Structure formats: C-alpha cells, structure tokens
A and B are shown apart, each in its own frame.
Chain A
Amino acid sequence: MPRTTTLENPGCPPLRALTFDVLGLIKVIEAKGEEKAAAKVVERWGEPDSTRAVVAASILDREIDPLLGVARKNGLVDVLNPVNGDIQVSIPNVSQTDVYPEADAIIGLHLFRKQRLESLSRSITFLTCTIKGRTSMKSIEIPQSCTDTISDAAQTTWNTCGSGDILFSKVDENECYALFGGKGVEVNVWDIHTSTKIWTAKSPVKNNLGIFTPTWFTSGSFLSKDHRKFVSGTNSHQVRLYDVSAQRRPIMSFDFGETAIKAVTGDLDGYTIYAGNGSGDLASVDIRTGKLLGCFLGKCSGSIRSIVRHPELPVIASCGLDSYLRIWDIKSRQLLSAVFLKQHLSDVVFDSYFRNEVGGSTDLPHQLQGLNDISEGTEDEGIVPDKRKKASKVHKGSKKLKLRNEGKNSDLPPQPQDLNKIPEMIRAKRKKASKVHKGSEKHKLRKNRQEQ
C-alpha cells in the first residue's frame, strides 16, 4: 500500500541561504516561513562551467552593503552582492603567475568585516589560503563598475606550512587569528596582523600498541567568541578540542562515525558543536563533556562538506556531495527542509538579514526614506551602496520593530514567528501524549467495568 499517513512537516522559518556547487553556480534558497512551506530555489547566478567550480565562499553578513566572496577553482576570487548577484569585482590570482591555479587551488577564503584601510572609498580585505599553504591577505578597492581595473592591491603573503597539504583555514570571531591544518600539517594558529605563527599543536602520543596515527586534519573551527579554543576533525574520524592557553595536545578528543570528519562547526553558545563526516552522518556534541547529544537523521546519503549555524534562528544548514541542502532544527534535531540542487555542493552560507516580505508593506515609502537616511549617513558621495531590495520593503532599522509589525498584520501575538513555532510543536506533541493517556485511561475504565 502506498503511504497513507503523511509525515508532519514542521515547516521552515523564514531564511535565506546561498549554496555553491561544482559547476560554479550560486543558488539562492529562500523559505518564506509560511505554514508548512518548504524552502525553494528562487535564483540561480552564473553559467554552468566546471573550471569555475566554487571551492570556498565567505559572506559579509551585514545590514548595509553586504558582500559575498567566492573563490573558484581556476584561482579567481569573485566578490558579489548577495542580494542580487551582481559581480562587484573579480580578482585574478595575481600572486602566482608561474604556478598552475588548479594545482594550488584555494581552500579557504574569508572576507573581513573591519576595514583595514581608513580610506574614503569602499574597499574590501580578504584572506585566501591555498593547498600548498600560501596565505595572502589583500585589500582591494571596489571599483565603480566591473570594467575598471583594480587599482591598488595591498598584499601580505606568507607560507603557513613547509610540507603537506592545508585542508582548511578559519578566521576567528574578532578577525585577529587564523587557524590552519591539513594532511601532514598540525593545526596552527597565526596572528593575522603580524603574520606570525603563535601556536602549533602537538600530535597525540602513541597508543598502547605503539602505533602512531599520521597527522591528517580535515576540518576545524573556532568556538564562538573565543579565539583560544577550537575544535578540529581528523581523517581518522576523531574530533579534538584544543585550548591554546592550556596545552599543546588536545584537551578532549572522541571518535565519531567511521569516516573522516569533513565538517565541524561550533554553536553560538560556545560548547555545542556540529560534526559531519564523509558518509553523511551529522551529529551535535557537547564538547565540554564529549557527549553525543544526538544525530540528525534524515536520509542524508552523501559526504557533508559544510555546516553553517544561522546567527539568529535555531537552525543549521548542511550540504555536501548528495547535492541536497538540508535545514535542521537544532533543538529537536528534526529535518525542516531539504532542497535538491542537482550538483555536488561545496559550501553554504546564510544571509541572516533576509526578511519575509509578506507583512508591513503599508508604510513602505516612509521606511524607504529611513533607509536612505541611514545609508547617506554612512557612505560617501559617489558610491551608491547596494541596498537590500527585499529588506527595504519591510525594514525599519531594527529587527524587533519589524517583527512587531508583522505580528500586527497577521493578528498574531507580538512574537517572532520562528520562536512561535517551537512551542507549537511541543504543544502538538503534548496533545498527542494526552490523547494516548486518555485512551489508556478509557481502556482501564473498560477493564474495571468488565471486572465488575
């Protein structure tokens, strides 16, 4: 018989995510947050071209003038506008002209929030790291149009490793330190400003059989708001917690799954981490105790390449070789939405300033004016920043205000929608539970009667 009962779909809170795949396409996925509506692909940027496969991505997630950096397989770094996908500037890998770009592909990219140069024009600073360990930090002025040549590229380059392959690079919250690690490279922390290595890990001791597992780090991530603590995953399916201030060997390590840990991300609370491995298992772990909190089950069949935590909503997104973007609730560990995106995905980022454009369209002109005021105040003449078109319709300075507006429109109690949902779910569960309970009570009564 075909399935007669339908699975209860908890629905997805309103969010916007961007995914990057091996054909160099960028896809925008939006969930409207309506009742039981799944996330959908709304836009696709770029033409399919395998040489432009995306290897790393980074987003400057801010209200005004957001930017999206995309590193491609052929050594190109594109800076886009994450709202409409316009390419702002495209930077060829100028640092090495003699080397094949494919042989020394970029593996890590980070756009800096802070502006390093106190210049009048819009500029962007970013850090790239290649497999061979060539790390460079560049500051580039964003030209007015794409045809302009890139005028000035202030650049500092250093080598993070002598031998081995770098497999991941991460920058901490305050953008002062960078973390590197890879095959044959112990995890090491660098001070970005002075470009010096400040700390290197020591490999764990041999086990009781005297067997030494070779160093092979496959993923790593700083824990939230603390540059001294970070987690990393190894090829021998181990997740390790390091503390720079304590010791050079891992403080904590545990095994997870049976394949290499391909993605690790810390939660905002600073102790929960999410780890994904090469066979598609995703789990959340309390790193203080090393206890597995639970696995995310949802028929995920391909290697997980990237896990991202949403900065505000209690959701994470994972993507990988099974070409699905999956959005999970972190509390119930339930799959909220899965979107099939046709290609192997390499990365996913959240655009947290996305607002649903359903409500608050009545006093639109006023709001637009408000936004214009803000932008005029911050930006210089001549350069018009890209306003968030979608945000502009409903945006009114702060997020809370807007949510209140929405609440009024839909005659709901003034609470954010996403938060509303969880109690609802719990309530539903409770209802069920109570039903069962009643049933059992009835049963008992019946039994009693029979006995009488």
Chain B
Amino acid sequence: MGGKRKNSAGTTSGHSTQEGGQHVKKKEKIVETLLPSTIKNKEKRSAVHAKIKHQKGLEKRKRAKAREAAEQRALELGEEPPLKMIPRTIENTRELDETICKPDDEELFAGNDADEFSSILKQDCTPKILITTCRFNSTRGPAFISDLLTVIPNAHYFERGTYDLKKIVEYAKNKDFTSVIVVHTNRREPDALLIMALPDGPTAHFKLSKLLLRKDIKHHGNPTSHKPELVLNNFTTRLGHRIGRLIQSLFPQDPNFRGRRVVTCHNQRDFIFFRHHRYIFETKESKQAASSGKKIKDNKDEESSEQKVIARLQECGPRFTLKLISLQHGTFDSKGGEYEWVHKPEMDTSRRRFFM
C-alpha cells in the first residue's frame, strides 16, 4: 500500500499542486457521503481506505502538536497547563457494582472477624500448607511445585498417590494444615489450581495460564528463605475481598522485611497476576549517575538532588495468571457442594462487568 502511494505521488508530482489539492477535496467529499466498505471494486476501495487512514493520521498528529504547543505556551507564561485528557479504558468505565466494599462498612468488618480466615490473619495460628497434585503429574507440574515450595513458607509437598481428594482433606485436617493447594496438570502442563482453606473454609478453583517457571525467566533471582511480603491489588468487591483473604491466609502474617522479598497478586479485569520479586533500595550519587547516564533515565532529576534512593526489582518467579472459575462453600465436594460463586456464561453479556 505504502509503495503504491509513493508511486502515485511520484507520478502526480509533475502536476500543479493546486490540482492535487482539489483532488483531495473531491475525495473528502466522496468520503463524507460514501463509505469505502460500500465500494465494490477492491482496488478503488483500498485506495479510498488508505487515503482516509492517511488523512486521519495527519489530523491526529496535528491535534497532538497543537496540544503540545498549548502546553508549552502555558509553561512559558507560567499559567496552569491545560488538563490532561483521561483515556477511557475498560477499567474506568466499569459497570456499576453494588458489591464493591466500602471502607466504612461495619458489616464487612464483622463479617471478616467471623470468617474462616480470621484465625490465621489475626495470627492466632500459623499457616501450614499442603501441596499436592492431580493423579498424573509429570514434567512441568513437579517443577512448578518446587517453585511454589520456595515461594510459600511452611509448605509441604505430598505425593498424590491414588488417594481421593476428600481423604487428603481429611488427613490434612487431622494434621492441622490450614490450606491445601492442588495443582492440576493437563498434557504435562499445569492448567488449574485448587486452593482450599481448612477446616471448613471455602474452595476456590482457578484456571492457571501463562505459567513461566523460574528457570525460564531471564536474569531471575534466587529467593532467600525469609518470609515474603504480600501485595494484593484491586480486590475490591465482596467476592474479590474473600479471594484476597484466601490468598492472604496462605502466607505468614509477619513478613521478614530484611529479606526484601515480595509476592504480588494483582487483580485486573478478574485476572489475578502472580509475581514474585526481590527488591533493593539503592542510593545513587549524582556523579555516578552522570557518568553512566545512558543506563538510568532519571539522571536529569538527580542533578538537582545530590543523592536519590531508587528501588530496583529482580523477578524470582514463578510467574502465572489465575482466573477464578468457582468458589465453593465448604471443602472440596464436587457432587453435593454449594457454590458461593460460579462463573456462568449468562454473566458474560458485557465486557465491562467484573466480579472481583
């Protein structure tokens, strides 16, 4: 397409510029009345379309330039710069949801005190996790579990054998485990995660995708055995809150800040992104920054202040994405279980409706 336009530009360069201008205007008129999709001839249609696209691009650039100029002028005159436009995203046009937790909700806090996780979150008992697999487990499954064992403190791997999950739950209850995690693999690839709070907590069933193990992450770090910090982002609704508390109850509530290890669960559009990092605070002097200017972008700011503390991250892995399929009341019971929340196809009537 680009080549074509160049060609046409080359051939028409001999004509007077006025003619060319008229030509464009005519086209515009056509465009206003006629959509390219209504043209039947493909060559003509693509030509018209390319023209429109080009025009749109030009206009956009012009507008951006004008905006920039206005901003610059305002800066020079010392006025308030014009307000930045906020892009309309799916998140900020989210459908109104009455289940979003409000900070002044007395019933929410009473409910939190009464729920299944409160004994762990109040540090009355320490979390103890049992990790097991589905019946057939190979390659990436065990590798993922060995990664998980380094992420979650006080986690113990038990081979599944041929035991029923209900029997395992019973066993874990007797041994004072507080949670059970089951990693489900399909075609040697982990594809589902079952997190169960014990003794009578809810059971969450997640779809697991985009799994990247530690060894597959470039320049990954190796975590220490300190207790990690936990960051939970955007768990806003009652359901999200409950899932957040479920995840929170997997980790000890007294992190070793010396370990500088952080586990993040970031919720965005009902997908929970799991990341595991090490971080460090480094002080950079201005001299150093000036010498190695190309590495760090904000050395301009550092010229004003002599020393600046920056946080640097290193990913430790694993990295994966979870999506909630169902939340069951009570422990695992596929037949007689009651669901607190199940994803149903009839809920997917809007792209802007989220549940967490």
Residues of A within 8 A of B (CB): 2-3, 22-23, 25, 48-50, 216, 218, 235-236, 259-260, 262, 278-280, 297, 299, 301-303, 321-323, 340, 342-344
- Contact among A216, A297, A301 for B341, CB-based, below 8 A: A301
Is B295 in the interface zone, CB < 8 Å from A?
no
A303 touching B350 in the complex, CB below 8 Å, given contacts A48-B111, A260-B335: no
Whole-angstrom CA separation of A299 from B98 in the bound complex: 14
The 5 closest A-B pairs by CB, nearest first: A50-B114, A48-B110, A303-B338, A278-B338, A235-B336
- Nearest neighbor of A51 in chain B, beta-carbon distance: B114
Q: Which residues of A contact B336 (CB under 8 A)?
A: 216, 218, 235, 259-260, 278
Whole-angstrom CA separation of A278 from B111 in the bound complex: 22
Q: How many residues of B contact A (CB 8 A)?
A: 28
Q: Are A259 and B338 in contact (CB under 8 A)?
A: yes
Whole-angstrom CA separation of A322 from B93 in the bound complex: 24
Most A CB atoms within 10 A — which of B108, B337, B339, B341? B339
Q: Are A235 and B335 in contact (CB under 8 A)?
A: yes
B301 CB, nearest partner CB in chain A, Å:
39
Is B113 in the interface zone, CB < 8 Å from A?
yes
Q: Which residues of A contact B95 (CB under 8 A)?
A: 3
Whole-angstrom CA separation of A297 from B95 in the bound complex: 19
- Nearest neighbor of B202 in chain A, beta-carbon distance: A321
Q: Which residues of B contact A48 (CB under 8 A)?
A: 106-107, 110-111, 114
Task: Report B218-244 CB contacts with A as 1/0, cut-off 8 Å.
Answer: 000000000000000000001000000
Q: Are A303 and B238 in contact (CB under 8 A)?
A: no
Q: Are B342 and A340 in contact (CB under 8 A)?
A: no
Whole-angstrom CA separation of A48 from B106 in the bound complex: 9
Q: Which residues of A contact B347 (CB under 8 A)?
A: 299, 301
Is B329 in the interface zone, CB < 8 Å from A?
yes
- Contact among B107, B114, B341, B352 for A342, CB-based, below 8 A: B107
- Nearest neighbor of A236 in chain B, beta-carbon distance: B335
Whole-angstrom CA separation of A321 from B339 in the bound complex: 7
Given A303-B339, A342-B111, 11 further pairs, Cβ under 8 A: A2-B93, A2-B352, A48-B110, A48-B111, A260-B337, A280-B342, A280-B344, A301-B344, A321-B339, A340-B98, A342-B107
Q: Are A342 and B108 in contact (CB under 8 A)?
A: yes
Q: Which residues of B contact A299 (CB under 8 A)?
A: 344, 346-347
For chain B, residues 290 to 338, give those with C-beta under 8 angstroms from any C-beta of chain A.
329, 335-338
Whole-angstrom CA separation of A23 from B108 in the bound complex: 10
For chain B, residues 64 to 112, give those with C-beta under 8 angstroms from any C-beta of chain A.
93, 95, 98-99, 105-108, 110-111
Task: Report B40-74 CB contacts with A as 1/0, cut-off 8 Å.
Answer: 00000000000000000000000000000000000
Is B340 in the interface zone, CB < 8 Å from A?
yes
Whole-angstrom CA separation of A297 from B344 in the bound complex: 11
Whole-angstrom CA separation of A231 from B2 in the bound complex: 73
- Contact among A236, A302, A303, A343 for B107, CB-based, below 8 A: A343
B92 CB, nearest partner CB in chain A, Å:
11
Whole-angstrom CA separation of A389 from B181 in the bound complex: 55
- Contact among B107, B344, B352 for A25, CB-based, below 8 A: B107
Q: Which residues of A contact B340 (CB under 8 A)?
A: 302-303, 321-322, 344
- Contact among A23, A216, A260 for B111, CB-based, below 8 A: A23
- Nearest neighbor of A183 in chain B, beta-carbon distance: B336
Q: Which residues of B contact A323 (CB under 8 A)?
A: 99, 238
A428 CB, nearest partner CB in chain B, Å:
22
A50 touching B113 in the complex, CB below 8 Å, given contacts A323-B238, A340-B98, A342-B108: yes
Q: Which residues of B contact A216 (CB under 8 A)?
A: 336
A23 touching B107 in the complex, CB below 8 Å, given contacts A2-B93, A301-B347, A342-B238: yes
A100 CB, nearest partner CB in chain B, Å:
16
Whole-angstrom CA separation of A299 from B95 in the bound complex: 14
- Nearest neighbor of A23 in chain B, beta-carbon distance: B110
- Nearest neighbor of B350 in chain A, beta-carbon distance: A3
B30 CB, nearest partner CB in chain A, Å:
26
Q: Which residues of A contact B337 (CB under 8 A)?
A: 259-260, 278
- Nearest neighbor of B94 in chain A, beta-carbon distance: A2
Q: Which residues of B contact A340 (CB under 8 A)?
A: 98-99
Q: Are A23 and B338 in contact (CB under 8 A)?
A: no
A7 CB, nearest partner CB in chain B, Å:
10
Q: Are A303 and B344 in contact (CB under 8 A)?
A: no
A321 touching B344 in the complex, CB below 8 Å, given contacts A23-B114, A235-B336, A342-B108: no
Q: Which residues of A contact B113 (CB under 8 A)?
A: 50
Whole-angstrom CA separation of A3 from B93 in the bound complex: 10
A321 touching B110 in the complex, CB below 8 Å, given contacts A2-B352, A297-B346, A299-B344: no
Q: Which residues of A contact B93 (CB under 8 A)?
A: 2
Q: Are B339 and A280 in contact (CB under 8 A)?
A: yes
Q: Which residues of A contact B110 (CB under 8 A)?
A: 23, 48-50
Q: Which residues of A contact B329 (CB under 8 A)?
A: 303, 321, 344
B349 CB, nearest partner CB in chain A, Å:
8
Q: Which residues of A contact B111 (CB under 8 A)?
A: 22-23, 48, 342-343
14 pairs, CB–CB < 8 Å, chain A vs chain B: A23-B107, A48-B106, A50-B110, A259-B335, A259-B339, A278-B339, A280-B342, A299-B346, A301-B347, A321-B338, A322-B340, A322-B341, A323-B99, A343-B111
Q: Are A302 and B341 in contact (CB under 8 A)?
A: yes
Q: Which residues of A contact B107 (CB under 8 A)?
A: 23, 25, 48, 342-343
Q: Which residues of A contact B339 (CB under 8 A)?
A: 259, 278-280, 301-303, 321
- Nearest neighbor of A338 in chain B, beta-carbon distance: B98
Q: Which residues of B contact A302 (CB under 8 A)?
A: 338-342
Q: Are A279 and B342 in contact (CB under 8 A)?
A: yes
Q: Which residues of B contact A322 (CB under 8 A)?
A: 340-341
Q: Which residues of A contact B335 (CB under 8 A)?
A: 235-236, 259-260
Task: Report B145-176 CB contacts with A as 1/0, cut-off 8 Å.
Answer: 00000000000000000000000000000000
A440 CB, nearest partner CB in chain B, Å:
24
Q: Which residues of B contact A3 (CB under 8 A)?
A: 95, 350, 352
Q: Which residues of B contact A236 (CB under 8 A)?
A: 335
Whole-angstrom CA separation of A218 from B346 in the bound complex: 27
A260 CB, nearest partner CB in chain B, Å:
5
Whole-angstrom CA separation of A165 from B337 in the bound complex: 16
Whole-angstrom CA separation of A260 from B329 in the bound complex: 13
Whole-angstrom CA separation of A299 from B339 in the bound complex: 14
Q: Which residues of A contact B341 (CB under 8 A)?
A: 301-302, 322
Q: Which residues of A contact B346 (CB under 8 A)?
A: 297, 299
Q: Are A342 and B105 in contact (CB under 8 A)?
A: yes
Whole-angstrom CA separation of A49 from B113 in the bound complex: 9
Whole-angstrom CA separation of A172 from B346 in the bound complex: 37
